[in-house]
Amino acid sequence: MKSASHPFRDFRAGPRRLVVVLVVALLLVPSALMAWHTWQGATDDRALARRQRLGITQAGALTTLLASMTTAQSAAVKGDSPDVTSVRRAAEAVDRSGIGSVSLASARSWDGIRDLIDDLTTKTSVQGQTAYVRWSEVIDQISVFAGGLAQDSGLLLSGRLDQYYLTDAMTQRLPTLVVVSGRLVDLTRLAAAGPSAQSRTAALTARTLLGQATAQTAYVLHQALDQTENQSVGPAMISSMDEMAGAVLAMAPVHNLDPQPEQADPAELARTQQRGLAAAQSLSQDGLEQLAGMVAENEDTAQRERWTAAGLAAGTLVLALPLPLLSRARSRTRVEPTPDAADPTASTGTPASAAPATGPDRTGNTRNAQWPPASPASPAAPSGAEPSWLRPSRIRTSSAHRGKKVSRHAAP
């Protein structure tokens, strides 16, 4: 037989469940929001790092293409046969870099540039001023495309100053310096072949632009070196930087006492430019390798933050889920009844229905619900029988009246 539940147990069960629910909510809701925010941010950072890694590959391929196009342009302006093999090889490297995966607009732009490159490498008979104009138009489009591609790939979206400055130098400043150095050689050769005010002005403008591009590139690179905490960035690029700076200073001296552009030797200027171009390509390769290392660090950091968010969510669940289970198990726990409490007839032989009910009176003392209490020795009266103390008493008389029963309440 089940024992009766505690009179206040049901009353306390509701508030206890409410407290458990509130505690679980206080643990789960803030921790879940924090874990979700951390996970989402780390996921976005990892996706950005992967885009940037692809953009670094594309930036390197485009810089190589610009260098090949600049060399081919100088050969065409001079009247020599341009090295179309290197140009086609560089264009194929750009094709393999995944331009189409960035955006549909980038893919369409590259398709148009690719057609122009194929047309230039097929028709190589043009020379002089015409060759300069045709090759320069395509090179300008490649330069603009490279800058837009760096924006689309998120290379400039970085919270690290060293990475931002290094990206700006490798994707914006250095390609511009490569293009302007080649144009200075070509315009100087054209000015020497046909001296005119227009050709001299174009050569002087190219020389000024080369000096500005060099100053801007040097400034951005020094900012990257000053802001970085990586001790390998400076030693990896300093030699290429010095060699490129020496070549550029020889092409465009800072002082005003140098010869006029039309008086410079185009052949010597072309040799210096090739030396500086090789240094620029080496600097680009070293800088992009360092940039790839920074992006890899960012991706590793994002991956660790994802694991942290997952651990936070799992730890919160481990701590919070047992609380309702423990509360539920405690509410189901009951005190096992003793044999006497389970069966009142075990010791007295009296049915449970006949056992007198007890309860506190007004003074707080416990008394029987029926009064007077039944004698322990006498059997319990059947249900519905008249109490013995209400029955008329029977008095036994003397021996003379033995056998006769006289009631005290009998009528006279």
| Per-residue pLDDT tens listing for the chain (412 residues) | 444 544 444 445 556 666 666 666 666 677 777 777 777 777 777 888 888 888 899 999 999 999 999 999 999 998 888 889 999 999 999 999 888 777 788 888 899 999 999 998 887 777 888 999 999 999 999 999 998 888 888 888 877 888 899 999 999 999 999 999 999 999 989 888 877 778 888 888 888 899 889 889 989 999 988 888 888 888 888 888 888 888 888 887 765 545 555 567 888 888 999 998 999 999 999 999 988 888 888 888 877 878 887 777 777 777 666 656 655 555 555 444 545 444 544 445 445 444 454 555 555 555 544 455 554 544 555 555 555 555 555 444 444 445 444 444 444 4
Q: Measured between alpha carbons, how far is 234 from 162 in angstroms, rounded to an integer?
A: 11
Cβ-proximal residues to 86 (8 Å cutoff; 6+ apart), any chain: 68, 71, 72
Residues linked to residue 359 through DSSP beta bridges, in sequence order: 367
Using the 8-state DSSP alphabet, how is residue 383 labeled?
A: T
Cβ-proximal residues to 276 (8 Å cutoff; 6+ apart), any chain: 181, 243, 244, 246, 247, 248, 251
Q: Measured between alpha carbons, how far is 89 from 81 in angstroms, rounded to an integer?
A: 17
pTM greater than 0.85 (yes/no): no
Is the four-CA dihedral 310, 312, 315, 321 of positive or negative sign?
negative
Give the model's pLDDT for residue 295. Answer: 86
Give the model's pLDDT for residue 63. Answer: 93
Q: Measured between alpha carbons, how far is 111 from 95 in angstroms, rounded to an integer?
A: 9
233 closest CA partner among 157, 159, 161, 172: 161
Cβ-proximal residues to 212 (8 Å cutoff; 6+ apart), any chain: none
Burial class (CB in 10 A: 0-12, 13-18, 19+), 303: middle
Give the model's pLDDT for residue 319. Answer: 67
Q: Measured between alpha carbons, how far is 380 from 397 in angstroms, rounded to an integer?
A: 29
Q: Measured between alpha carbons, how far is 123 from 138 in angstroms, rounded to an integer?
A: 14
Compute φ and ψ for 366, nearest 5 degrees.
-85, 135
Give the model's pLDDT for residue 364. Answer: 52
Q: To which residue do tokens 């679980």 refer?
A: 24
What are the angstrom distances between the C-alpha of 106 and each of 4, 112, 165, 225, 361?
79, 10, 24, 32, 94
Q: Which long-range contacts (CB under 8 A, 24 or more apart) does 244-250 make?
A: 244/276, 244/279, 244/280, 244/283, 245/214, 245/218, 246/276, 247/272, 247/273, 247/275, 247/276, 247/279, 248/177, 248/181, 248/210, 248/211, 248/214, 248/276, 249/214
Q: Give strand ranges (E) for 91-246.
A: none
348 closest CA partner among 384, 378, 383, 386: 378
